[in-house]
């Protein structure tokens, strides 16, 4: 398993949505794709029927969240909000909780993190190519960015015309936590590690006492492990630019953008991995650390969490 910051992308077609289950040496392995990344479910030895149910339920959970919150669909709540053109939109309880969480992150980051900065994808690509936008292109989008520019009084959200929201910065970690909670409810006490694109969580230690081994992907060599972490319970999340970046004239531009400026954060680590009780907490700290640039490590030390920098 390798950790990466890839987040929600165009959903797979219904025909492609199948989950594979194979027996490993001492555990079951479920595999499927969701949110633009490979996903795995590792399950300690249980009857095959239970393993199959766990994999099916976890994959359905991931696909449900992807379908509901992906910005690439035209049939979900995000599309409804992003095409509201200033009209108020009443949202359901789950969406309201994510909006409240996004507001908290904006406050904690002093505006560096903001789910309204998704419009910057009109200027940035981060496909490994050399496209870097002009300052004038960024300046044209900045008036459409900023939590302070919208109205949120739960359950009603109103955006100014042209503004958009994007849950990509928090959606995958939320999905991991939802999936691991679901698995725990289905098979109480069974150790089941959920891994969505390198963001992982597990609620119960394995019965034989052994830890799950999680590889953190190298920031310099995609597909190679920079370190191996033993995990018995809790979560890991990584944010970095190993797969999503622009490279021009020898300068690498990370996909992690400061919403206040519209530009990638300079002088930040290439990759931050954080261990925490939940994947949402780990992902939050990893992202907030990157947004602090050269003060990333100081923030993580202050939070007294385990972390790995590259």
Tokens standing for residue 129: 């190519």
pLDDT average, residue stretch 31-35: 96
What is the extent of the structural domain holding 193? 1-215+242-267
Question: Is the pLDDT reported for residue 7 higher than 70?
Answer: no
Q: What's the structural domain count of the chain?
A: 1
2 has pLDDT over 70: no
Please report the beta strands in 66-189, taking only residues with DSSP state E, as ranges in sequence order.
89-90, 151-153, 156-158
Confidence of residue 12 (pLDDT cuts 50, 70, 90): very low
Distances in whole angstroms, Cα of residue 276 to Cα of each of 5, 116, 285:
17, 26, 9
pLDDT at 9: 45
What DSSP designation does 15 have?
Answer: G
- Output the CA angle 306-177-25, nearest 5 degrees: 80
Query: Residue 225: inside a domain, yes or no?
Result: no
Q: How many CA atoms lie within 13 A of 70 on its CB side?
A: 19
Q: What would the pLDDT profile of 69-78 be if each residue is shown by its tens digit?
A: 999 999 999 9
pLDDT number for residue 222: 82
The predicted-structure confidence for 76-98, as pLDDT tens digits, reads as follows 999 999 999 999 999 999 999 99
Residue 290 lies in a domain: no
Residue 81 in any domain: the answer is: yes
Examine residue 281 and state whether it is found in any structural domain, yes or no: no
pLDDT of residue 224: 86
Q: Are 37 and 24 in contact (CB under 8 A)?
A: no
Q: How large is the average pLDDT for residues 193-213?
A: 96
Question: What pLDDT does 218 receive?
Answer: 86
pLDDT in tens, 259-303: 999 999 988 999 999 999 999 999 999 999 999 999 999 999 999
Inside any domain, residue 273: no
The CATH number covering residue 167 comes to 3.10.520.10
Predicted local distance difference test score (pLDDT) of residue 16:
61
In a domain, 147, yes or no: yes
pLDDT of residue 42: 98
Residue 224 counted as domain residue: no
In a domain, 10, yes or no: yes
Residue 173, pLDDT above cutoff 90: yes
> What is the per-residue pLDDT for 67?
97
């Amino acid at each position: 398993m390798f950790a990466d910051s890839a987040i929600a992308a165009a959903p797979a077609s219904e025909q492609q949505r199948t989950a594979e289950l194979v027996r490993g040496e001492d555990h079951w392995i479920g595999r499927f794709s969701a949110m633009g990344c490979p996903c795995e479910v590792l399950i300690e030895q249980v009857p095959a029927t239970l393993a199959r149910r766990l994999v099916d339920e976890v994959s359905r959970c991931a696909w449900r969240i992807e379908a509901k919150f992906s910005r690439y669909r035209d049939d979900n709540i995000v599309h409804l909000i992003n095409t509201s053109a200033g009209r108020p939109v009443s949202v359901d309880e789950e969406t309201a909780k994510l909006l409240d969480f996004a507001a908290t992150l904006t406050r904690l980051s002093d505006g560096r993190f903001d789910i309204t900065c998704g419009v910057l994808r009109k200027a940035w690509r981060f496909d490994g190519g050399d496209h870097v936008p002009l300052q004038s292109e960024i300046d044209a989008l900045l008036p459409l960015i900023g939590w302070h520019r919208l109205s949120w009084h739960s359950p009603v959200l109103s955006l100014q015309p042209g503004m958009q929201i994007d849950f990509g910065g928090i959606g995958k970690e939320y999905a991991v936590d939802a999936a691991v909670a679901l698995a725990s409810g289905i098979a109480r006490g069974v150790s089941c590690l959920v891994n969505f694109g390198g963001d992982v969580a597990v609620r119960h230690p394995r019965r034989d006492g052994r830890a799950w081994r999680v590889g953190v992907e190298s920031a310099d060599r995609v597909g190679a492990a920079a370190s191996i972490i033993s995990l018995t319970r809790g979560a890991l999340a990584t944010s970095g630019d190993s797969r999503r970046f622009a490279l021009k004239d020898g300068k690498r531009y990370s996909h992690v953008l400061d919403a206040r400026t519209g530009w990638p954060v300079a002088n930040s680590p290439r990759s931050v991995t954080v261990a925490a009780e939940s994947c949402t907490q780990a992902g939050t700290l990893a992202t907030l650390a990157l947004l602090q640039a050269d003060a990333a490590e100081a923030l993580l030390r202050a939070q007294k969490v385990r972390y790995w920098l590259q």
